[in-house]
Structures are given as C-alpha cells and as structure tokens.
Amino acid sequence: MEFNIENIMNKINNPKPDTWSQILKRPTKTIDDIEVTVKEIFKEVQKKGDEAVAKYTSVFDGIALDNYEVTPAEIQEAITLVSTELKEAIQLAKNNIYKFHYAQKAERISIETIEGVNCWQEKRPIQKIGLYIPGGTAPLFSTVLMLAVPAEIAGAKEVVLCSPPDKTGKINPAILYAANLCGVTKILKVGGIQAIAGMTFGTKSIPKVYKIFGPGNQFVTVAKQLATQFGVAIDMPAGPSELLVVADDTAVPAFVASDLLSQAEHGADSQVILVSTSKKLIAAVEKEIEIQLEELPRKEIAKKAIANSKLIFVENDKIALELINEYGPEHFIICSEYDDFYCNGVVNAGSVFIGNYTPESAGDYASGTNHTLPTNGYAKNYSGVNLDSFMKSMTFQKISEKGIRNIGPAIERMAEAEGLQAHKNAVTLRLKNLE
Amino acid sequence: MEFNIENIMNKINNPKPDTWSQILKRPTKTIDDIEVTVKEIFKEVQKKGDEAVAKYTSVFDGIALDNYEVTPAEIQEAITLVSTELKEAIQLAKNNIYKFHYAQKAERISIETIEGVNCWQEKRPIQKIGLYIPGGTAPLFSTVLMLAVPAEIAGAKEVVLCSPPDKTGKINPAILYAANLCGVTKILKVGGIQAIAGMTFGTKSIPKVYKIFGPGNQFVTVAKQLATQFGVAIDMPAGPSELLVVADDTAVPAFVASDLLSQAEHGADSQVILVSTSKKLIAAVEKEIEIQLEELPRKEIAKKAIANSKLIFVENDKIALELINEYGPEHFIICSEYDDFYCNGVVNAGSVFIGNYTPESAGDYASGTNHTLPTNGYAKNYSGVNLDSFMKSMTFQKISEKGIRNIGPAIERMAEAEGLQAHKNAVTLRLKNLE
C-alpha cells in the first residue's frame, strides 16, 4: 500500500475551546511497573555501591569494567578521533551558548527595606553537579554543551558526567571531546538507573552530587524522580519532545514542514502541532511533509510521530494564542505577520523561535539558548535550563540598632499573634538592651 | 526531678571532620505508611471531586460545609476582628517584603550571540498559583504575606489559598485579613490532603493550579510530593525548621540563647546548633538558655528540641565554615568578629542573619526576606522562595538571513554527527533558499 499523507495526518477545523484539552492531549505512559525495578536497583546501589553498579553495567550494557572513570589517555584518543570540521562546529556552538548563559549572571540585589534594615539576595553555585548523557546510536554531545557550559559559568566545584559504555567499553568520542572542552571534572562510564543511583548515594567510584541534569529513557526518568526522594534535586520532569508552529501565509511551507519533521524524527511519541489561520498554508505544508518525509533516513520513526500530529485551523490569531497557551509547547515557532502579538502574548512555552530563518534546530545546537526545556505542559510551571538552574538564591540581612527599633515592635506583635513567644522574646531582649 | 540544662544539652568538643555527618544528622522520618493514605485520598478527589473533599473535610476537620469559598462578608468580618495594632504590624511587614521582592524583578536579558542571531531571556508569571496555609493553634498569617506578596508582584492571574476550617467552619481572621490585603483571588476553607489533591486535579469548588506553595504537616508534605507526579510543581521539599548560629566573644550570650530558643519552640523536631571558637561563649549561652527557657509558654516543646541541639566547639573559623557548609542550615546567624569571612564563604544556607541586632525572627516576619526556606540540607541544592519561584524563564531567538548563514553550517555538521538528518534538513533548505 502506498503511503498517503492525507490519510495519516489529523486535520482539525476550527475546534471549539471545550474540545481543546482532548485534542491537545499528550500520550501518557504508566510508570508503575518500571518503578519497582528502579527502586530495587537504588536499594542495591545504596547498600553495595560499586558492586551493584558493576552488576547492572554487566546486565544492561553487556560489559564488565574494572574502572569506570575515563582516563586522560582515553580523552586524548577521543580528541584525535573527532574531525576538525566537527570540532569547529562544536566550538562555535559552545561560544554562543557561553555568551548567552554568561549574560544571565546576576548581580547581588541589595535594598534597605526600612532605615537600618539591609537585605540582599545573592546567587551561589550548587557545589556538586551530575550530568547524565544517554548512549545509543545518537551521541548527544550537544546536550553536554548545554549542561556543562552553564555549570562551569555558575562555578560548580565538581561536575560529574555519567554516560553508558558501548559493548567495547567506550563512550562516543564526541561526548568525551565536548565534556573535556567544557570543564567536566570527572567522566564515568556508567549508564541507566545505576548511574542515577550512584550519583544519588555516592559509591567508591561515583561521587554523590546535589543536582542531576540530563535526558534519558523511561528508566532514567523514573530514576531521576526517585532520586528526589533522597535529597537530590533534578533539572525538571521529562516527557517526549514537542513542537508547535503557528504560521500564516507569510510562512514558507517547505520550512514549516522541515521543522515539523525535525521534531518528528526524535521519536514515535514526539508531538508535532501546526496551528494556522490559513487553510492554504495547512494544505501546502501537508504536501511538503509528504515530499520531505520520503528522503529521511529516520522516516519510519517520523511517520509514526506524524500520525500523532495535528494540523489545526483556527479562525483568528487571538484564538490561536489562547490554544497555544493552553498547550504550553516545549518549542514554539512563530512564522506570522503578527509575530509581536504572539511574542508578547505567549505565557507558556519553553523556547520561542521567530521568523522564517529561525528553525528549531538552531536552538537545539547553536543559537546559544538552552535545549533542555520543559515538555508535557511543564512550560506552565517550569523554566528551561538556564544559568540559575545551577545556582541557589540565598538571602542576607543585617540590621542596625536603628533598624531593630524600626521593625522590632511589629515583629513582637506578629509573633505574639502567632503564639510564638520565644520569637517575640528574641526581639524584646534586644530592644530592652537599647533602652 | 529538677530540670538541669547541663544534662540535656549536647556539648561537642572539637569534633573530627569524619564524625561531622554523624553529629549533624537530622532526624529522619519514614513516610511509607502515610503515602498509602495520601494516594487513596488523591484517587478519590480525582474521581469524585467536591464529594470527596466534603467527605474528608468532615473526617479530618470535623465539620460539614455547604460552601468552601470564603465570602466577602466573612472577609469584612475578619477585617473588623483584627486589632489596629496587628494591622499596622502586618502592613509594615508587607511593605518590607514587597520592597525586597519587587527589587528582584528582572529585565529581559538580550544578546546577539553572533551577527544575526538574537537571543533573549524573559521571565513570565506562572498563571495559576496555589497557597496552602495550615490551621491549628498558630495562625500563620506571616506565611500568607511571604507567599501572596511575591505571587502578586510576579503577576499571577489566579492565586488560590486553601486553609482548613476550624470546628465552627471558620478560618482565623488574621489569615483572611492578610490574604485579602495581598490580592489572593480566592480563599477556600479546605485543608490537608484534600486541599492539595483539589488544587492538583481541580474540582467544582477548587481551581486546578500549576504550582503549590506553603508549609504543612507530614500529610500535606507527602501530598505535595505526590502532586508533582500529576504535573503540578511545588515550592520545595519540606522538613523540620532549623537554625545554626556561629558566635564568638563579640556575641551577646542572651541574644544567642533567645535565637536558639525561638527556633526550638517551633517543634520538638526542630534543629538548633551553636558553633563557636569560644568555650566561654558556649558556657554563657548554655546558662542563658536555662534562664530563658523557664519563661516560655511553649517550654515543653522547646525543651525537647533543646535536647536534640548541639553546642559545638571548634578550633578556628576555617573549620567552623567547613562544618557549616557541610550542614547547609536553613537559617544561619553570624555573630562574629569575622562576619565578612562567613558571609563570603558560606555556600549552603537558606537565609543569613548578620550581627547582634539581627535575630532570626526579623526574617521570619518583617525584614523583607522570605521565610520559606530550604530545610534538611536542601540549602545545598534549592533556593528559598523568591520572586523567581513564581515565574518561569523563557527563551526567544530571532535569526536573520545573515544569522542562519553564520551558524547554519555548524548546525548541519552537529545534527549529522548526532544522526538527526531532519534537523540538518531544516537548515539546508533555508541555506539553499538563500543561494
């Protein structure tokens, strides 16, 4: 049977708002059965350390290793294996990511809230950072840049990177090259649940960290969630990648199609949505998808994702914006005459791409923005990874004698009304001392 | 038997670093049995909505309510019930909290990372905020200020506050007064697990929110954790409150004792630690604790917490700082000749109080800093609540024809090396179009 794009794409005409949540529903997965496995491995790593890590590396990665840490010799080898062209590309991307994240450095915010009461906020680095980089066919060295560059700018003392070894006990050279370039302090050949458990509890080989970043399969996702129950923070909850494009007749259909497909190739569960006020544009994009799809090496994956995709016609831009904010896309491309309207009005999105020459892949690799972004509607309540993700806000206050005279009586009254006499006392004693 | 402070306080002399983690250990609690109850109530609220909320309000709060929403008449009544003195105190505290959090407003950060590639970061408010305020004997209206003020500055569209009704179906007037003063959009008489479940799923009476803030007992804590599995964000993981004071002979022993006690009165599981390079100061503080403790209405609670407290002598300030950073205190008071050394060197702390006239209760109520802070060592990886807690960072990029020519080839190479052909295509198509 010939592949017919008309039959697989979901075109939706002017949907009523009360149907939006159904139309925009993401595929959900149950994780209950995975949880049991993850908890078991966590317990074993907590108890037995490296012994358990060795066991599961053998089980899941099919290799026995004596030493998990990547040696300087292995890094040197990796450097020679990466082509000059790719090195230059990585360097250009790194420069842009560095510039954008460095610009996010915040000065101390200091204010005298009332005479004699000085308060300030400072950001200090999280001292120990863990990065997880998946293995497999697609070596995500770009994610190494996205995480290690801001970690270094923030000033983390330790940046540990875990990535699973292949069957020969190696990590892809581009990953090692990027990690070395960006100041990662320790690289470990450990993957999956055992890597997350190792960074959570610490083992002889794997340092305990305070916050874990990075993508992964369902096992890694559940393991990161579990890590939070043991005092470790994580970047954000994960879900399949997604893209929403809003486009009108000012958009180039071939470009829009290429963006939708670049999202679709990520995985069969990727989400791809086009919202438009132009039926003509929708038809043209559909046609372009059919043409471009046939050329893709990963077309089988992309076809499955395209089958879940939605092409939604709406009557005007106001409705489009409402729908987009209800969805809260991870990636949001705007190719519209009214791009300012969308830029100003969007409140729920991870990263926004404006205009015909701003493909999503620019943000994935080299524009400078971060590609670790909230999926699954989390753009409603989570930030994408940024410099602050690697820091903590701390507050300071210094109160003078004049200051405590100014706010002391208010504190005494409030503490008393809350029934906290010792809180009141701490002020009363000081005020008496000043009499 | 007479109460003898000497017998109950733990004095530790010059502990070796390898014993620190044992000495500084916080009391841990198992939550497995609570989890079952919480999950059950979540399921029921998800399925039955208000019906389940009514059932558990009746079970836990001992009252049947027809209407959960606080009416304008009830708010008017609350306003008349709060004394003018307390109103003035609340207003002063609100002004300071407002000033400090307003100062945290961030401008858009914009940068041209390479010619033609413009990237910027903007913060936008989380649209729907939920606040939880516990009931009971101590009405935490101060927490209303700490959460509702920054929510309003951030620009949240909806701020819902849930607090359990008392046996007569009312919420403490000071809580209602503060909520009304700070722009809370809806106040609901719902408490405990059913409140958190209601804000997670939404019911007819309780709006669904995107992020939940606020303290609570163990049930509320576990419920907030569970909420994160249903797409809702929370302020931070919770634990018992704690204070660490570093003091030398420049400190006033009576003041230090009053601060330790004001922490101790929070609960029997509160953590209170004094670190000092002066044995003389430790002895003097101990004596003062004994004197002041006897005067406290909550002395039974405070005594229990004091029994868990530690008075630690260390040989010098460098060791003290290391120990403090290993502990990562929620509240950190510095009364030392070398306060700059500690201010600059502390990397793990929630809020820092400097000098003899800066009691912890100043930050709890009225200096302007936030009192919702990371406990349990979470100061190592979490910020205290601040303006950003109510916002999300979003990134934007706009690339010109010149810009895509500058970064396009690098993207093509990187996408190819990661095996993502469609990502490459999205750029190739555009570059070709420009030839």
Mean pLDDT of chain A: 94
Contacts for B87 with CB less than 8 Å, ≥ 6 apart: B177
Please report the pLDDT score of residue B400 as a whole number: 98
Question: Which candidate in B74, B265, B286, B330 is catalytic?
Answer: B330
Q: Give A11's pLDDT tier (boundaries 50, 70, 90).
A: confident
What are the distances in angstroms from CA A315 to CA A24, A337, A389, B202, B434?
17, 15, 39, 29, 32
In this prediction, residue B265 carries a pLDDT of 85
Residues of A tagged active-site:
330-331
Phi and psi (nearest 5°) for B203?
-130, -175
How many structural domains comprise chain A?
3
Domain residue limits at B296: 5-27+240-368
Of A96, A137, A347, the CB nearest to B117: A96
If asked whether residues B17 and B64 sit together in one domain, one would say: no
A389 in a known ligand binding site: no
pLDDT at A28 over 70: no
Question: Which residue in the list B44, B288, B331, B371 is annotated as catalytic?
Answer: B331
Confidence of residue A395 (pLDDT cuts 50, 70, 90): very high
Active site residue B331: yes
pLDDT tens digit sequence for A116-153: 999 999 999 999 999 999 987 779 999 999 999 999 99
Q: Does A336 touch chain B (CB under 8 A)?
A: no
- Residue A163 touches partner B, C-beta closer than 8 Å: no
The answer on A344 and A279 residing in a single domain is yes
* Three state DSSP letters for chain A: CCCCHHHHCEEEECCCHHHHHHHCCCCCCCCHHHHHHHHHHHHHHHHHCHHHHHHHHHHHHCCCCCCCECCHHHHHHHHHHCCHHHHHHHHHHHHHHHHHHHCCCCCCEEEEEECCEEEEEEEEECCEEEEECCCCCCCCHHHHHHHHHHHHHHCCCEEEEECCCCCCCCCCHHHHHHHHHCCCCEEECCCHHHHHHHHHHCCCCCCCCCEEECCCCHHHHHHHHHHHHHCCEECCCCCCCEEEEEECCCCCHHHHHHHHHHHHCCCCCCEEEEEECCHHHHHHHHHHHHHHHCCCCCHHHHHHHHHCCEEEECCCHHHHHHHHHHHCCCEEEEECCCHHHHHHHCCCCCEEEECCCCCHHHHHHCCCCCCCCCCCCHHHCCCCCCHHHHEEEEEEEEECHHHHHHHHHHHHHHHHHCCCHHHHHHHHHHHHHCC
Residue B165's φ and ψ, nearest 5 degrees, are: -75, 150
Classify burial at A11, counting beta carbons within 10 Å of its beta carbon; exposed 0-12, middle 13-18, buried 19 or more.
Answer: middle
- Would an 8 Å CB–CB cutoff place B327 in contact with chain A? no
pLDDT tens-place string over residues A101-120: 999 999 999 999 999 999 99
Q: Which DSSP symbol is given to A25?
A: P
Question: In Å, how far from its chain's centre is CA A342?
Answer: 23
How many beta-carbon pairs under 8 angstroms link A with B?
418
Question: Is residue A350 predicted with pLDDT exceeding 90?
Answer: yes
- Do B219 and B260 sit in the same domain of this protein? no
Task: Please check whether residues B248 and B215 belong to one and the same domain.
Answer: no
Among B186, B211, B234, give the residue marking a domain's end: B234
Angle between helices A218-227 and A192-201 (to 10 degrees): 10
In a domain, A53, yes or no: yes
State the nearest Cα–Cα gap between B409 and chain A, in angstroms: 8
CATH of the domain at B411: 1.20.5.1300
Question: Are B330 and B372 contacting, i.e. CB atoms less than 8 angstroms apart?
Answer: no
Does one domain contain both A182 and A226?
yes
* Residue B45 belongs to some domain of the structure: yes
Same domain flag for B54 and B194: yes
Distance, in Å, from the CA atom of A178 to the CA atom of A335, rounded to the nearest integer, reads 33
Enumerate the residues of chain B whose CB falls inside 8 A of the CB of residue A423.
Answer: 262, 265, 360-361, 364-365
A392 in a structural domain? no
Res. A8 pLDDT band, cuts 50 70 90: low
Give the span between the Cα atoms of B138 and A41, in whole angstroms.
43
- Residues A384, A379: Cα–Cα separation, whole Å: 8
Residues of chain B with Cβ-Cβ distance to A370 below 8 Å are: 395
**Distance between B433 CA and the closest CA of chain A, angstroms:** 10
Per the document, the length of chain B is: 435
Partners of residue B266 in chain A, C-beta under 8 Å: 420
- The pLDDT of residue A1 is above 50: no
- A64 and A158 part of one domain: yes
Predicted local confidence at residue B2, as pLDDT:
45
Instruction: Give the lowest-confidence range in A289-303, A348-362, B400-414.
Output: A289-303
| Residue B275: inside a domain | yes
Give me the amino acid identity at A366: A
Q: Determine, yes or no, domain membership for B95.
A: yes
- The DSSP 8-state label assigned to residue B308 in this structure reads T
Instruction: Give the number of other CB atoms < 10 A from CB of residue B31.
Output: 14
* Residue among A119, A229, A423 minimizing CB distance to B361: A423
A180 and A76 in one domain?
yes
The answer to the question of residue B393 being in a domain is no
- Name the residue among A342, A379, A378, A345 with its Cα closest to residue A358: A342
Q: How does pLDDT run across A211-261, given as a tens digit for each residue?
A: 999 999 889 999 999 999 999 999 998 888 899 999 999 999 999 999 999
A423 annotated to bind ligand: yes
Q: Which residues of A touch B88 (CB under 8 A)?
A: 410
Contact A347, A335 (CB under 8 A): no
Nearest residue in chain A measured CA to CA from B126: A381
A381 in a domain, yes or no?
no
What phi, psi does B419 have (nearest 5°)?
75, 25
Q: Is B422 in contact with A264 (Cβ distance < 8 A)? A: yes
Q: Does residue A352 surpass a pLDDT of 80?
A: yes
Domain end marker among B368, B388, B411 = B368
Tokens of A54: 């060795």
Residue B402 has what pLDDT? 98
Instruction: Report the CATH number at residue B363.
Output: 3.40.50.1980
- Of B198, B218, B234, which residue constitutes the final position of a domain? B234
> Which residue has better confidence, B25 or A165?
A165
Are A227 and A158 within one domain? yes
Q: How far apart are CA B86 and CA B73, in angstroms?
A: 21
Q: Is B415 on the interface with A (CB under 8 A)?
A: yes
- pLDDT tens digits for range A260-269: 999 888 877 8
Point out the residue among B109, B174, B383 whose CB comes nearest to the CB of A393. B383
Mean pLDDT, contiguous 10-residue spans, chain B (435 residues):
59 90 77 86 97 96 94 97 98 98 96 98 98 88 98 98 96 97 97 97 98 94 93 92 96 97 85 95 94 85 84 96 97 98 98 98 98 96 98 98 98 96 96 95
A142's CB contacts (< 8 A; 6+ apart) are A93, A178, A364, A365, A371, B414, B418
A117 CB neighbours in chain B (<8 A) are 96, 362, 367-368
- Please report whether residue A373 resides in a domain: no
Segment A331-357 shows an average pLDDT of 98
Instruction: Give the mean pLDDT of A79-96.
Output: 98
- CB-based contact B65:B189 (threshold 8 Å): yes
Interface contact B114-A96, CB threshold 8 A: yes
Contact B357 A430 (CB under 8 A): yes
B190 shares its domain with B266: no
In a shared domain, residues A41 and A20: no
pLDDT recorded at residue B33: 77
